[in-house]
Structure 1
C-alpha cells in the first residue's frame, strides 16, 4: 500500500468490540457519511464486509472498497476526479481488551500544488473517527 509520496494516519479508541465497531463504521461512516454528508451508494457490495461497495462523496469523487475482512480491515481506492496520481486507504480494527483501536491510513501522491490535501484528509479522518466514537459512546452508556 505504501507506494505514494504522502501518508496520513489517524487513530481512535472506540468502546465497541472489533466486529461491532466494524459494523458501525460500515453503516455510520461508509454508508451514511457521518457528519460530513450522506454519500450516494453506487454499488452495494458485500453486506457484511463492504467489499465491492462503491460510493460517491461530494459531487464527483468515487470511493470503492477493494479489500475487506469483517472485524479486521477495509481497504479502498479513490477514483477520479481526485488530485492524486495514486491513492489507497486502509481502515484497521485492533482489539484492545474488548474495545477497538481504529487506525485509518491513507497513502497517496498528490498532484503538484496539492500538498494541502494532506490536511484535508487528516481533518476528515479525525472528524469521522470522532463521530464513530461518539456514536459508540451513546450506544454503550447506561440510560
Structure 2
C-alpha cells in the first residue's frame, strides 16, 4: 500500500496531513471587494488538500468597526466563482483579536476569500493562507 504508515505491528495508521507554509493570499487591501474575481488564477489552488486556513491580519487598520468575508469556490464548468459561507466580525471581536483565523473545508477546489464588507477609518488587511 503506497503512502500508508504502519505501526510496530504492521497495522495501518491514521492518514498523515501535510501542511503548507502560509502564503500571502491577498493584500494589503484598503477596501472591500467590489465584485467577484473573474478567473481561477486569482484564487488559491487547493489541489491535493482538504482544508485551508485563512489568517486575517487587520493590525494596520484604524477604527475598524466591522469586517465580513466570504469563501468563493471556483466552478470550472461554469467558469465562475460561487459564493460559500460568510463570516462577520464585530468591533469587539476585532479589538479582542485583531488577527483572527478561519478554517474551511476545500476538498481540492480553487478558492478565494472575498472581503464583502468593512467599516473602518482606514482599512489595512492582509490575508494569508495555508493548506492541510
TM-score by length of 2: 0.31
Q: TM-score, normalised by structure 1?
A: 0.30
The structure whose RCO (Cα within 8 Å, separation 6+) is larger is 2
Q: Relative to total residues, which structure has the larger helix share, 1 or 2?
A: 1
Bigger Rg, structure 1 or 2: 2
